[in-house]
Structure 1
Amino acid sequence: MMIRRLASLLLAGAAMPAAVLAAPVLDPVFSDHAVLQRDKPILLWGRADPGEKVTVTIGSARGTATADRSGAWRAELPKMAAGGPYTLSAAGKGTTASASDILIGDVWLCSGQSNMEYPLERTLASGTEIANGEDPQLRLMTVSRRTALAPMAQFGNPIGWSVATKQSLPGFSAACFFMAKDLRASENVPIGAIHSSWGGTQIAPWIDLESAQPFEKSNAGLLALFQRDPLEANRRFGERWTSWWTERVGNAPWRDSSLLSWKPMPSVSYWESWGDTALRNHDGLVWARRKVALTAEEAKKGAVLSLGVVDDADQTFVNGVAIGNSFGWNLKRRYELPARLLKAGENEILIAISDSWGFGGFQGPAELLSLAIQGGETKALGSDWDYALSPAGVVDPPRPPWDSNAGASLIYNAMIAPLGPLGLKGAAWYQGESDVANNKPYADKLGALMASWRKQFRDPQLPFLVVSLANYGPPQPTPRASGWAELREQQRVGVERDRHAALVVAMDLGERQDIHPANKQEVGRRLARAARNVAYGKPEPVGPAAAAAERGANGILVVFTGVTGRLVPWSGTRALAFELCGDTQESCRFAEAVPEGANVRITDDGKPATRVRYGWADTPITNLYDEASLPPGPFELPIR
């Protein structure tokens, strides 16, 4: 029952039912204080009685539409120059819907995961920034977290615009605000900033399903099955999950849990609180086990298993059968158990809990854990659990396509699709940390995301600003493999392929011990620089970009484009973090590198070298900038 209920919640709002309305209604995207995109035809939409003619006006602009059989209408008004405020109205049969204080300006969509979600109230000097951030011509809209199995016509939660004030600013995206504030100053037009982000998410959920198909072929069928039969879909996904485990470990604890080394669980709470030194700062996978006795009569009735919140993800088995896999540090797990999964006597609940950051395990309280027999007793499960550690290095299990955090298109359907063909000036994207473990196709996925959104917003040249990952993690004294560097390289390649995208380097703005650096001011400034270059056509510096590595008689020359003035090594005469590599990781070594104008020359050490790397670490220590104080980003280039 719970799994079916979860599916119905995900589907909620996917399509608006036909309804008889007393008056035309404007879509909530067009609420009071909205900003509409200047210099583009203005598309507006809403609902009315089926067949009703609707006249839409804003200022002197006017358009008409007729509601279809479902009651949906869409009108197009001619493009307008920046200005306002205006009143927007939609008039029908003697009644009118309206929105006031509407501005015409530039609309930016900001999206990604937690570093885009990071609120203004947590940034450096946040009190001063909020006090000085009020601006009647800067408007903000935040989209609530939600998923759906199909594209939604409207947002499932209330949505609306607000003026930038001391009340509206603290919880708004800091990076988005600082970009918008900078653009307000330079462009002198109203700015509308839409923030739609979700911490910890991968890129796949943000891409529409058609565009994501090349990466989601194995998931498309499972996703469709989940809509029809969630329990069967979980069973089939469980086969994928168990294959992942057995390939790495070789045993099958869901068949025989004695294969694991069990200890009594001190309490139903986060495992960091248990006093086990192995779990004090543990991010990874831990197994939990609970046995419960049922009578033959109880087993025949079926039951609902409630586990409370499990942080982050759970793969749950009952009597060896995979019955549920969910993600979310605020999602209460409740799984339906039909009678065929239960038996008279001892039944075993086995959960593989995966945590990627922060606290892990059961959130509690213990009272939330139970097994409710259909039409009968509810058995408390708040005690008598055992736990077992997984082998070191067994991390990042597969996740199902209905996973809110990683499932194909689920976030796009609920947090981007409802924006419809809204006119935009551009989009800013800050995401990637959650894709580090699976970074190889990221450049292709980034291209698919940009194509997906451009299709929706009806702008094949919609500018995209992509923030490259900030530095995070311990420093690296010797060259080695780096998942973060690989992801940054995929971001660089994805942007390089696209004529209407710009890369914003942030590897020098992070904090080694905090994945969420507080200096979002400089991220915003660099985003605004990139915006002026790629969206406004201004000769604004966006930072050096490595173009080629060429071998010559005097060493290896790395050629850069986009350099303002010359390249300068801060606090020294040599540039740090350059590497020469042969065909293997073991062949990589740090290299002597000296800037020469807009290029960098690397000393050839006589050892085999086919590649040049720069900043190839989770937390690279770099000192190379141009005269606009902008750094080149990390890269790997073949030596020609």
Structure 2
Amino acid sequence: MKLSRERRRAGSVKQTVLGGLGALVLAASAHSGAATQAPVFASIFGDHAVLQRDQPIETWGKAAPGASVAVKLGDKAVQAAADGSGRWRAQLPAMPAGGPYALSVSASGATTTLHDILLGDVFLCGGQSNMELAMANATNAPMDVTYSANPQIRFANIVRETSPVLQEEFKTAPQWQVAGAQTTGQASAVCYHMARSLHRQYKVPVGFVNASWGGSSIQSWISAASMRKLGAYGEALDVVDAYGKDVAAGMRAEERRQEAWWASVDPAARAQRAWANPEFDDSAWPAMELGARWNESSIEAVSKHRGVVWFRATVELTAQQAGSATQLLLGQIATADTTWVNGVRVGAGINWWAGRDYAVPKGLLKAGKNVIVVRVLDDDNGGGLVSPADQRVLRAADGSSIALPLRWKYHLGSHLKAAQPPTPWEPPTSVTTLYNGMIAPMQGFRFKLAAWYQGEANAGAAQEYRTLLPLLFADWRKTFAQPELPFVVAQLTSFGSVATKPGYSAWAELREAQSVSVRNDPHAGLAVTFDFGDRSDIHPGQKAIVGARLARAARVVAYGEKITPGGPQAVSASRRGKDIVIRFTDTNGGLRTYSSDMAIGFEVCEKDACKYARASAKGDTVTLHGAAAGHPSKVRYAWADAPFINLFSADDLPANGFELEVK
């Protein structure tokens, strides 16, 4: 693997260069030993960093090729040698919690020193937007941030970076920060509250690294080597590899893959593909002004259409404009699109909330007439190019813009209900690229635990998630050479549709996939969160509760405390006369119901036909009265995207949702 170029953040890392050198790094001469290259640490190491206590401390970085390197932390020192590419690794012995220390690396008379290093517990926090949500945007932020100063709590945010190629170094160096009124607002709220709770519990320094990306799917965060174990991803991974080696070749490979999918779901796809040709005669097509979903259109045929609509626009450019434009911006598109410029496919997207920003290859645009074609596949709520007109432009490298036409030609395509595959290198629904850019550069860094808050982007594919989440556990444990690295998982909260009758719930199924994955892993714990969700906001602000519940699970799986990791968990459902009795563990003193003497949200099902059941709680059991009549096959609880629940433990923790076979 080739090391990406080093970037040191100015003013953050105090570096002392000894031996009379006049610069931080002097380029090593290819033909002379006169110049010396100062050794540096990988960018995950920096001033104010926290390193994992009680475990060997792996350090690494760059030096002159073949240089003898000395690494020192406090009074501990080790030697290493840089390889022919200048890469070095050195392992310091385990040290107890403490500090602050200086961490230095020396070679050939030059030294780089990092200051204010603590030994304590380090947490890796990953996932999508609910992990990414910053303290500044969380409930009670003014108080929590203002009074957060604590020199023993530090954090580093990994800058968003996607890469089709495995990276050994971050393109942008993370910056370790000490908790305080000027910094804490930038920290992950969930991770901060978890870290603060554990610091209060164990009184040792804590640090956390936040590597998250809003809207990302779990497939983005798993290495290619692990994803290849799932045969279904082989073709997408091949396309990512091709793109990493040659962008144009990767684009062509992805076009073939996507068009093969279109041919498989739409009988008219091959014939309609001619509509992307710039020479196609669209003079008979009507025109419409864009800027809203087409179910809101005053054109009746458009407003009632569900499926594919094609759009074409012609823009006249001068030679100077054609030579300077480098990007095509189309704003938000509902829901999926494929876009061509002068017959060449420049990109595709599947997320309605993500603006489309496609690179235009040099030489593709020309003086005179240029044709832009967009094929849109809608969802059930209507589709279209929905952003205001000023967001649809050609943009030049200098930031200037060329407006696209207000009115576009259009033609209704096939009636179709299908989910277009994501482009495998495009975040946030890529395959492996966020692992490559945001996780792999930390390989060798040691952590006390990993916290994971993700799943919204995978709702609707819960069965696959039952494979992917354990795969992520195994993949990260291998990456960090910690085969028993504890994981704590924040379960999906409450959001979206409420239930007036039993039915399908993508979010309930995803929660169950998370529960099953954690239950089957002896080093994993779960935090149930749906009692503090918000059915109208996918990003509920109350993150202190989520962080505290993750910390409780961590006390069991990472620290070995003999407490229950969370609230009530159903373990069995059996017939007892006319009733069905459900037994729970972790009730912490018994079950209780709020605002009623009955427990709400329970269902009894005969195969896929479910109905609500009258339920009461006593001790560690819930009885579904009269539910054994007929042929019940399973029972469910809290089976809705936004369930209303009132069953809690004696210490105020919600019972987890579940689906159980009736024995």
- Cα distance, 1:576 vs structure 2: 0.9
- Cα distance, 1:305 vs structure 2: 7.5
Identify if the C-alpha distance between structure 1 residues 37 and 357 changes in structure 2 by more than 3 Å, giving closer, same or farther: farther
Letter in 2 for 1:531: A
Out of 198, 201, 208, the residue aligned to residue 216 of structure 2 is: 201
- Cα distance, 1:53 vs structure 2: 1.0
Paired position in structure 2 for 1:336: 361
Letter in 1 for 2:546: V
Identify if the C-alpha distance between structure 1 residues 379 and 133 changes in structure 2 by more than 3 Å, giving closer, same or farther: closer
Out of 223, 231, 246, the residue aligned to residue 266 of structure 2 is: 246
Letter in 2 for 1:186: Q
- Cα distance, 1:383 vs structure 2: 3.2
Distance in 2 (alpha carbons) for counterparts of 1:357 and 1:151:
38
Out of 471, 475, 483, the residue aligned to residue 498 of structure 2 is: 475
Distance in 2 (alpha carbons) for counterparts of 1:291 and 1:460:
55
Out of 43, 63, 73, the residue aligned to residue 28 of structure 1 is: 43
- Contact kept in structure 2, 1:234 and 1:324, CA below 8 Å: no
Q: Secondary structure at the match of 1:385?
A: strand
Paired position in structure 1 for 2:573: 549
Deviations 1:61-80 (Å, cap 9, x if unpaired)? 21111111111111101101
Paired position in structure 2 for 1:8: none
- Cα distance, 1:88 vs structure 2: 0.6
Deviations 1:528-556 (Å, cap 9, x if unpaired)? 11111111111233122222222233522
- Cα distance, 1:358 vs structure 2: 14
- Contact kept in structure 2, 1:133 and 1:164, CA below 8 Å: yes
- Contact kept in structure 1, 2:444 and 2:481, CA below 8 Å: yes
- Contact kept in structure 1, 2:149 and 2:181, CA below 8 Å: yes
- Contact kept in structure 1, 2:4 and 2:170, CA below 8 Å: no
Q: Which runs of 5+ in 2 are unaligned?
A: 8-24, 29-35
Paired position in structure 2 for 1:231: 251
Which residues of 2 match residues 396-475 of structure 1 at below 5 A? 396-475=419-498
Distance in 1 (alpha carbons) for counterparts of 2:45 and 2:171:
15
Which residues of 2 match residues 7-406 of structure 1 at below 5 A? 20=28, 22-213=37-228, 214=230, 215-227=232-244, 228=246, 229-243=249-263, 246=266, 253-256=272-275, 264-266=287-289, 287=309, 289-292=311-314, 306-311=327-332, 314-317=337-340, 322-326=345-349, 329=354, 332-336=357-361, 347=371, 349-352=373-376, 361=385, 366=390, 369-370=393-394, 381-386=404-409, 394=417, 396-406=419-429
Q: TM-score, normalised by structure 1?
A: 0.86
Q: Which range moved further: 213-222 or 342-351?
A: 342-351
Deviations 1:580-633 (Å, cap 9, x if unpaired)? 11112xx10011222231122222331321011111000111100111211121
Distance in 1 (alpha carbons) for counterparts of 2:175 and 2:151:
16
Q: Secondary structure at the match of 2:582?
A: strand
Q: Which runs of 5+ in 1 are unaligned?
A: 1-10, 373-377
Q: Secondary structure at the match of 1:440?
A: helix
- Cα distance, 1:506 vs structure 2: 0.8
Paired position in structure 1 for 2:12: none
Query: Alpha carbon RMSD of aligned pairs, Å?
Result: 3.7
Paired position in structure 2 for 1:7: none
Q: How many residues align?
A: 613
Deviations 1:242-263 (Å, cap 9, x if unpaired)? 246517x98964445899x977
- Contact kept in structure 1, 2:165 and 2:241, CA below 8 Å: no
Which residues of 2 match residues 504-523 of structure 1 at below 5 A? 504-523=527-546
Which residues of 2 match residues 559-638 of structure 1 at below 5 A? 559-584=583-608, 587-605=609-627, 606-638=629-661
- Contact kept in structure 2, 1:306 and 1:368, CA below 8 Å: no
Q: TM-score, normalised by structure 2?
A: 0.84
Identify if the C-alpha distance between structure 1 residues 81 and 354 changes in structure 2 by more than 3 Å, giving closer, same or farther: farther
- Cα distance, 1:416 vs structure 2: 0.7
- Contact kept in structure 2, 1:303 and 1:338, CA below 8 Å: no
Identify if the C-alpha distance between structure 1 residues 292 and 48 changes in structure 2 by more than 3 Å, giving closer, same or farther: same
Out of 516, 519, 522, the residue aligned to residue 496 of structure 1 is: 519
- Contact kept in structure 2, 1:89 and 1:96, CA below 8 Å: yes
Distance in 1 (alpha carbons) for counterparts of 2:149 and 2:591:
37
Distance in 1 (alpha carbons) for counterparts of 2:395 and 2:103:
54
Q: Secondary structure at the match of 1:230?
A: helix
Q: Secondary structure at the match of 1:75?
A: strand
Paired position in structure 2 for 1:5: none
> How many percent of aligned residue pairs carry the same amino acid?
35
Q: Secondary structure at the match of 2:478?
A: helix
Q: Secondary structure at the match of 1:398?
A: coil
Q: Secondary structure at the match of 1:617?
A: coil
Distance in 2 (alpha carbons) for counterparts of 1:535 and 1:413:
26
Letter in 2 for 1:332: D
Letter in 1 for 2:259: E
